[in-house]
Each structure stands twice: as structure tokens, then as C-alpha cells.
Amino acid sequence: MNICIFASGYGSNFENILQNINSGKIQGKIKLFITDKENCRANQIAKENKIESYTYFPKQFKNQDEHANALIDICHRAEIELICLSGYMSKLPNKFVDEFYGKIINMHPSLLPSFSGKGFYGEKVHKAVIENGVKISGVSIHFVNSEYDRGPIIAQIPINVYAKDSIETLRKKISEIEHYLYPEIISLFCEKRIILKENKVFILPPQKKKPETALLSLSNKEGLLKLAKALQALSIELISTGGTYEFLSQNGIKVTSVNSLSSFPEILDGRVKTLNNKIFGGILFKREDPKHKEEITDNLIKPIDIVIVNLYPFEKVSQAEENWSEKLIENIDIGGVSLLRAAAKNYKDVLVVSDTDDYDKLISFLQNGTDDIDFRKKLAIKAFKHTMEYDRAIYEKLSDKKGKTLDLTLNKIMELRYGENPHQKAELYSLKERLPFEKLNGKELSYNNILDSYGSFTAVNDFQNPACAIFKHVTPCAMAIGDDICSAFEKAWSCDPLSAFGGIVALNTPCDAKIANFLSKKFIEIIIAPDFDKQALELLKKKTNLRILKWNEDIRKSRLIKSVGDEFLISDSDNIVFKDKIEAVSGELNEREESALKFAFTCVKHIRSNAIVLTNETQTVGIGAGQMSRVDSVLMAAEKYRQYLKNNTKPEFLYLASDAFFPFEDAVIEAHKIGVKAIIQPGGSIRDKEVIEKAKELNIKMAFTNIRHFKH
């Protein structure tokens, strides 16, 4: 739409209109500027923006008709469709007004018909308002007719006037409303939504279209500047509150204050900012509901299409503040929570963002230009979750239950065929929204598969070298390291091939074709690795039932939760192997022996207690697990070692690791019988001295780790 501006003064409203055209809010173009004051700032603005400009003094014409004809001629030549008066001091000739009636609008700094007519303009109006003790003033936009300020009114916004207000404070409040309302009405004209019929003004309801407005209220300003610039680049108008408004304004971002929309000031030290019908009406109205559209149009409510909010940092403040302290209470967000809930409720029409991590996703969605109801739902769910957790934090702090209750929100991942046994029902839940692995092939995972998978991948990740672990019934039957993953796998398989049948193989580096080719001829339930090369995957996928898991995350730091009846045991994970340097208590260890013992102790950490492992320098050669007495686990490991020797060369040096201390010297005696040369154990028994003396007597080297690794 082609627009002509008439102005005589400073030009702040003219400048504001230009900015709104440049931002894309007003779908029009200023083709003509007319003034009656050559040296006014408004004229300078027009020239700087290369707008065709004319200066006409009414007295330069013989009569009103000559003046009118000049104006009519120039406006018709420029094909002007809308004329906006912006502080124009001269009265327009009647003939010109008649020619363009219904296309000329003016803004007046009071609620018409009050304080209107000849001589009432600008600060003269404000002075009269103050002197008369008026309690409510405001801004009016009206069509221009032949009488001063008497044309049909298009829109009005009231504001409160207080006894403490001065002419200057009133001017500022009025100016803020003017800078919001005039561009709004001009924009409606350009959209052909304002109809003048029989001297009555009708505003047509909005049509649903792409998002045009975003409300931002952010306690955490991280990423705000980048987000605001991206939204502006998409011609989205920004509306903001308090500190967010100041931050954006100071950084040169054009933003509309919430006060302008609501025509109500921020009060009670910021406790009330957005809690207003015009704000929540703009968020909650259904864009497809004719009644809703009529109501927001009649009440001059601006649609708000995007709500971006993060809340006062209550949880952070609560860590340092006493319960019920003034600062703590002031950090309970009211408006922000309400904005999030309102926007999330109206998810079909309003995008709600409560997480800074979603800023880039929002911009990508808007740039894409196509709607996605699933994306909207995800944002809404996240907002409801955020407000739920926020309310929980307040409740726990104020009720003094912080640290005394624990709420777990678990996401259901899948139903399992059955539990540990076929007669038990089972499901898999997660604290996260997705699993730490991808299943690339094979049957559905069972309850026992999941236990073994997590255990085996946790185990191999404790090794710095390429490593392989083979698990069966939640405990390793073999573990090994090597210079490369193939040698680690070959050593692990040779430890106990009988137990490896139907087991779970885990690698801590990508699986290659050589391992895949070997396993393609064996029966195993699962193979796990951080990745698989193309040929390996092709070979393994030939076994349609074989479950192939590509593991993406290190899970060793996750907390442990175990149920016992209706109670739960919660602990940190056992995610370290050694606490300090190991302490030699029998004999002196050379570098090779210390390295071998560290390998053995890393292995025993993952074996069910009471746990004993026999190793050479790089592989397990006998495992004793889950026995009620430690010496029985030594005997079990010895039996496994004898089986190992049937198909493998006897180690040059045999090492033993124990997950906990030796309560008696009997285990040392049994270890000596099978040829153990060095033992590593936590120490800490009241009989440590006796155990050490026995090791010295039998010429067995021994080291203490001073850290225990029970596993039940």
C-alpha cells in the first residue's frame, strides 16, 4: 500500500512508522512526505530516506481550494492509498479531506472526544489533562473529517494518570502507546482489515498465517541476542518485558514493550508485568474459532504467536538462601509460569520455548516455513515438564523436604517379552528419552540381554587399551586387552570358549570384519561396539537373530538404583578402579608386574562377589564368581584355570586379583598351590598382617589397592 505522511515536527512517530515498514510489520511503502515546516526534523528524516518530499505553506495559496488541488494532484500522481497525519500542525483543506475521506487517519494524545479541537495538540493536551486531575487518558486514532478531531474513531487505548504524574511523565507514557498503536492500525489498513461504513469503523478478524509476533521474557539472557536477530530476520515482531526489553533495546534491537500492549505499567516491583487480559488473550485465542477472532478484534488484542520464557532462578537461589527468606520468595516466578502454561495449552497456534537448547530448533522450524504439529507438541510437553519441576523445587524447599524426597520421572522405552523368567512381566524405563545405544539388527532385547549388555559395555570401558569382555548371566566369563581389538578378542575367546557359547561380546573400539567373520560362525546373543565397519556389519547381519548394538554413550557415571520390596537403594556408580597408588606389602613389584596386577584388578571389579580372577598380563585365565566364601572362589577360578591349560600354554607368570580383602590366609595357600606369583587385593582385614606374612613365607608378591569393588 502506498502511504503519504504529513508531519510538522520532530518526527518520532514518522520515524517509528519507517522502522516498522523496514522490519516487515507494515506491508506498505511511504511514497510521499508533505510538511508545512521546511526546517523540521521530520523533513530531514524524509530526505535521508530518499522519500519524495514537498513543503506547502497554506498561506502561499490564494485560497483553500487551490491548496487542496495541489495536495490532491500530488497524492493522485503518487497513487496514494493511505494518508497518515503525524504531528501535522495545519488544518487540511475540506476539499482534500472529502477527496480522500476514509483514507486519512490521525493520532490524538487523549481519549477523544476529550481534550480535542483547535489548539489541543501535543503537550497542550498533556497539560490540560494534568491540570484537570483526569484519572484516565490515552491515545485515539481516528479518521479525519472536516472538523477538528471529530472523525470516526478507529481505536483507543486508555492509560492511568496518577497524582504524581507530570507533563513529562505523561508524555512518555503516551508516546510509548503511540509508538505501538499507530503502526498497528497502519498495518491493519495495509492488510485491508479496516472498513469504514456509514461512519462506523469495523475491524476484520485476523487470518491464520505464519508466526508474526514473539513474546520474550528471559531471566537467563544466554543466546538471547542471537535469537532476537534471527527472529527479526524472519520479520517477526518482538515483544518483551522489564529486563529483557532493556537488554534488547540497549543492543539496538527494535522491541515493543509489554506495557504498550497492555496499556498498564509494570507494578509491585515487577511482581505484575504480563498478567493482563491483552497478553493472555493474545496467547490463548484459537486462531480457527470465529468467536475468539471476533472477541480479540473487538478488544484490540494483538495475537502472540511465539512465547519464549525462562523462569526466575529459584533453584539456584534456594541453595544459598534460608527457607522463606525475602530473596527466596521474590524468586518465585508467577507470570513466567503462567505464560508457559498458556502457550503450551494453545500449542496448535502458539510455539512455546522454555529451553535455551531449543532456540536453534525454533529458528530452523520457522525458516522451513511448513508447520509440524509434532514439533509443537514436543515444545508444549517440555514447557509443562519445566513448570512441573519448577513447582516441585518450590514445594520441596518451602516444605523443607529438599533432599528428603526423590521423584523419578521415567520414560517408558519398551515392553519386554518377559522378565528374568517367562512368568514375570517386565518393561524398560529410562530417566532419559532415549537409550545409550542403537540396535542395528536382531531380535528384541530381553530382560537378561539388557542386564548383560550394560554390564559388559561398562566393563570394557574401564580399559585404556583395546579390550574385549564376554559376559554370561551378568558376569564376565572372559576379559582381555591387546595391541588391537582383534588380538584382544582372540585372547578373550580363548579364555573360556565353553562359557562364551550364547554369551554377549563387548568391544571398546569398532568391530572389524575379522572378528565379524569369526562370530558369524558362532552362536552368541549380542555383539556390542562403539561402531562397526561396513564389511563387519554385512557379515553379522546375515545372522538375522543376532542382536547388534552400536553404543553411543559412556554410562559409567550413572547413579545406581535397586529396588528391595517397596524400598530403593540409590548410590553413586562404582566408576573408579584405583583410588591411590597401589601399595606393595609383600616383595617389590617391577613395572611389568604392577601393570599386570592393575589389569587383573580392573577385571575383578566387574565380577560378582565374592570374586577372584586369575590372569596373565593381558587376559583372564580363570574366574571364580559369586561364591559365599572367598576361598571357594579361588577354588572355582583354579578349576577354570585347569580347563584353560588344556588348550592354551601355561602363563609364564600367574596373577590373582580379589575384589575384597582376604579374611584368612587360606586363600593365599590355595593360590600358591596353583602357581600364583603375585596377588592384588584391597586390604583392610583385621588379619592383614597374618595374610601378608603368609604371602612372604610362600614367596608371593602382594599389593594393596585400598579400594574395594563388591558387586552384588
CATH number of residue 625's parent domain: 3.40.140.20
CATH number of residue 327's parent domain: 3.40.50.1380
Q: Given pLDDT bands bounded at 50, 70 and 90, which one contains residue 459?
A: very high
Peptide bond preceding 663: is omega within 30 degrees of 0, i.e. cis?
no
Residues 529 and 589 reside in one and the same domain: no
Residues 559 and 640 reside in one and the same domain: no
Residues 560 and 536 reside in one and the same domain: yes
For the stretch 388-444, pLDDT in tens is: 988 888 888 888 877 677 878 888 999 998 999 999 999 999 988 889 999 999 999
- CA dist 579 and 710 (Å) reads 15
- Report the Cα 654 to chain-centroid distance in Å: 53
Residue 709 maps to a domain: no
Residues 224 and 343 reside in one and the same domain: yes
Active site residues: 345, 473
For the stretch 311-341, pLDDT in tens is: 878 778 877 778 888 888 888 888 889 999 9
Q: Please list, in sequence order, all residues whose beta carbon lies within 8 angstroms of the beta carbon of residue 215, skipping any fewer than 6 positions away.
A: 239, 240, 258, 274, 279, 283, 304, 306, 307, 308, 309, 339
Residue after which a domain boundary falls, among 366, 398, 430 = 398
By residue count, the chain amounts to: 712
Residues 558 and 692 reside in one and the same domain: no
Residues β-bridged to residue 197: 200
Q: Please list, in sequence order, all residues whose beta carbon lies within 8 angstroms of the beta carbon of residue 682, skipping any fewer than 6 positions away.
A: 658, 659, 660, 661, 704, 705, 706, 707, 708, 709
Type of residue at 246: E
Residues 112 and 168 reside in one and the same domain: yes
Q: Read off φ and ψ for residue 600, nearest 5 degrees.
A: -60, -40
Q: Which of 23, 57, 21, 60 is closest to 40 using CA atoms?
A: 57
Cβ–Cβ under 8 Å, residues 601 and 661: no
Q: What are 596's three cell numbers?
A: 599386570
If you average pLDDT over residues 632-657, what whole number do you get?
95
Residue 712 maps to a domain: no
What is the percent of the chain where pLDDT is above 70?
Answer: 100
- CA dist 613 and 601 (Å) reads 8
- CA dist 103 and 72 (Å) reads 13
Q: How far is CA 49 from CA 180, 279, 707, in A?
A: 22, 34, 77
Type of residue at 346: N
Indicate whether 296 pLDDT > 90. Answer: no
| DSSP summary character for residue 416 | E
Q: What are 641's three cell numbers?
A: 584355570
Element (H, E) at 567: strand 567-571
- Report the Cα 21 to chain-centroid distance in Å: 33
Residues 145 and 228 reside in one and the same domain: no
Residue 605 maps to a domain: yes
Residues 346 and 480 reside in one and the same domain: no
* Beta-strand pair 237-240/256-257: parallel
* Beta-strand pair 504-507/526-529: parallel
Indicate whether 281 pLDDT > 80. Answer: yes
Residue 345 maps to a domain: yes
Q: Across all residues in the chain, what is the average pLDDT?
A: 91
Instruction: Give the pLDDT of residue 251.
Output: 93
Residues 131 and 18 reside in one and the same domain: yes
Residue 405 maps to a domain: no
For the stretch 484-496, pLDDT in tens is: 999 999 999 999 9
Range of the domain at 693: 583-704
- How many CB atoms are closer than 10 A to CB 563? 8
Structural domains counted in the chain: 4
Residues β-bridged to residue 412: 429
CATH number of residue 93's parent domain: 3.40.50.170
- Three-state SS string over 292-331 comes to HHHHHHHCCCCCCCEEEEECCCHHHHHCCCCCCCHHHHHC
Residue 353 maps to a domain: yes
CA angle 681, 686, 687 (to 5 degrees): 70
Residues 553 and 598 reside in one and the same domain: no
- CA dist 709 and 303 (Å) reads 61
Residues 421 and 278 reside in one and the same domain: no
If you average pLDDT over residues 656-681, what whole number do you get?
95
400: left (phi over 0), alpha (psi -120 to 50) or beta: left
Q: Given pLDDT bands bounded at 50, 70 and 90, which one contains residue 93?
A: very high
For the stretch 28-54, pLDDT in tens is: 999 999 999 989 999 999 999 999 999
Residue after which a domain boundary falls, among 571, 595, 613 = 571
Residues 487 and 340 reside in one and the same domain: no
Residue 386 maps to a domain: yes
- CA dist 30 and 45 (Å) reads 12
* Stated pTM of the model: 0.62
Q: What are 167's three cell numbers?
A: 507533563
Residue 408 maps to a domain: no
- How many CB atoms are closer than 10 A to CB 552? 12
- CA dist 262 and 280 (Å) reads 10
Residue after which a domain boundary falls, among 368, 398, 428 = 398
Q: How far is CA 67 from CA 63, 93, 321, 572, in A?
A: 7, 7, 72, 87
